[in-house]
Amino acid sequence: MKMMMKIFATAAVLAALMMPAAQSQQPAAGVKTPAPAATVQHQRLQVRVKDVARLSGNEAYTLTGYGVVVGLNGTGDSDASLIQRTISNIMQNFNIIVDEADVKAKNTACVMVTATIRGPVHKGDMIEANVSSVGDAKSLLGGELLLTPLLGADADVWAVAQGPVVTGGFFFGSTNSGGNAQTKNHPTVGTLTSGVKLLRDVGLGVKNQDFLTYFLREPDYTAAVNLAEVINKKYFGSAAALDSATIRIRVPNEYKDEQRITGFISEVEQLYFATDSTARVIFNEKTGTVVIGADVRISECAVSHGNLYVDVKKVESVSQPGAFTGIGAKTEKMEDETTTVNENAKNGPNFVPLPNTTTVGELVRVLNALGASPRDIMIIFHAIKAAGALHAELESI
């Protein structure tokens, strides 16, 4: 029996010893000292205001309701304590008294209905919702949602939902002993297309407002200041960055006098400005994904990356007693174990130097030269961070 264990050695990162700077000397007469090379910085990406910020008051609201889907073809809930009680309560709304034990619930299913409102909407508008099975229903295919009130975070009814459920999948057959079942996609979750009717206006009225407030979706002080400066170039002295995410804008008088605040909002949201963010390296160990931000920088260091292989081999043998051994001697099975350690290294230690202010492109090229996989790169970045050479945040998702 042979057992192979492959152990990846963690990347060894050594901070390079920086040579002391030479003392400055006066240049000889007639000799010009060359000017230091200018630091090259990558050009900041210009983005629209409407793509990275939102106007205060235009928020997302989530509505939730509990309802029943009817008309299923024997794929409904089998939980008597849940669906039968629900149907009995619904029947009482129509002055029909039915005992819970007499309810046949194979064609019905209890569901949760959720809808999200994004941006300003008005009373009577129709939006879509998601319908998800609560019990053990096999499929919602062909079902129709009964009238279901949807509640907001304040526990008030914001909307009502009703209509056919579209699943995009199916379940046919039986899962009982000797049965055969076929399933496509996810049949216990469906969509209610334009089946939610709003009972109130939702959104922000912008009439007669003196100030507007924008919030950056990714807070950053530099980005907030840049946005305020761009707005002030077009509307002098009207914008101020209150913090890393909040920009307050005074509406010019000509827009208030002519009732053109919506036009002013449109012009602001079409402006482009240079965004900014903290340097980050993002890991997703589940999928082996590594994302390196454009601002990631590495100080001078040396990286050694290698693979350590440990081979443990077990060989079975038989111990046979001699001819004149005592009466208690018997044949026994024995195991011999041999362990071999091998570390791949070509031409000595594989150290790769990284210069100061390494760019993302240079860093990727070096890591590719090392033959590092995404999971090896995660280990290398943690080691570089521990050595104090990585100037970025490490984040795992």
The reply to whether 181 and 235 lie within a common domain is no
Q: Determine, yes or no, domain membership for 36.
A: no
What local confidence, expressed as pLDDT, does residue 148 receive? 94
pTM comes to 0.60
Q: Per-residue pLDDT for 142 more than 60?
A: yes
The reply to whether 298 and 345 lie within a common domain is yes
Q: Determine, yes or no, domain membership for 241.
A: yes
Who has greater pLDDT, 84 or 115?
115
Q: What is the mean pLDDT of residues 145-169?
A: 91
What local confidence, expressed as pLDDT, does residue 48 receive? 93
What local confidence, expressed as pLDDT, does residue 126 receive? 94
Q: What is the mean pLDDT of residues 73-89?
A: 81
The reply to whether 250 and 295 lie within a common domain is no
C-alpha 142: how far from chain center: 33
Amino acid at residue number 301: C
Which among 268, 227, 276, 271 is positioned nearest to 55, based on CA atoms?
A: 268
Question: What is the number of helices (H) and of strands (E) in the chain?
Answer: 7, 25
What local confidence, expressed as pLDDT, does residue 273 receive? 92
Q: What is the mean pLDDT of residues 197-215?
A: 85
Q: Per-residue pLDDT for 168 more than 50?
A: yes
- Reported confidence tier of residue 36, pLDDT bands at 50, 70, 90: very low
The reply to whether 292 and 269 lie within a common domain is no
Which among 238, 284, 294, 281 is positioned nearest to 381, based on CA atoms?
A: 281
- Count of domains observed in the chain: 3
Q: Per-residue pLDDT for 344 more than 60?
A: no
- Reported confidence tier of residue 282, pLDDT bands at 50, 70, 90: confident
Who has greater pLDDT, 56 or 351?
56
The reply to whether 68 and 170 lie within a common domain is yes
CA distance 243 to 225: 9
- Residue ranges of the alpha helices (H) in the chain? 49-52, 85-92, 221-234, 253-257, 261-269, 360-369, 374-386
CB 66 within 8 A of CB 110: yes
What local confidence, expressed as pLDDT, does residue 215 receive? 94
Last residue of a domain, one of 237, 256, 274: 274
Last residue of a domain, one of 198, 227, 247: 198
Average pLDDT, the chain: 76
Q: Determine, yes or no, domain membership for 385.
A: yes
The reply to whether 258 and 294 lie within a common domain is no
The reply to whether 66 and 194 lie within a common domain is yes
Q: Determine, yes or no, domain membership for 46.
A: no
The reply to whether 289 and 396 lie within a common domain is yes
Q: Determine, yes or no, domain membership for 42.
A: no
Last residue of a domain, one of 145, 168, 198: 198
Tens digit of pLDDT for each residue in 215-232? 999 899 999 999 999 999
Q: What is the mean pLDDT of residues 269-285?
A: 86
The reply to whether 3 and 102 lie within a common domain is no
Q: Determine, yes or no, domain membership for 112.
A: yes
The reply to whether 249 and 311 lie within a common domain is no
Q: Determine, yes or no, domain membership for 81.
A: yes
Lowest mean pLDDT among 175-179, 185-189, 263-267, 345-349: 345-349
The reply to whether 286 and 194 lie within a common domain is no
Q: What is the mean pLDDT of residues 163-175?
A: 73
What local confidence, expressed as pLDDT, does residue 15 receive? 32
The reply to whether 396 and 289 lie within a common domain is yes
What local confidence, expressed as pLDDT, does residue 336 receive? 60
Domain membership of residue 127 as a residue range: 60-198
What local confidence, expressed as pLDDT, does residue 40 receive? 38
Q: Determine, yes or no, domain membership for 326.
A: no
What local confidence, expressed as pLDDT, does residue 254 receive? 86
- Reported confidence tier of residue 318, pLDDT bands at 50, 70, 90: low
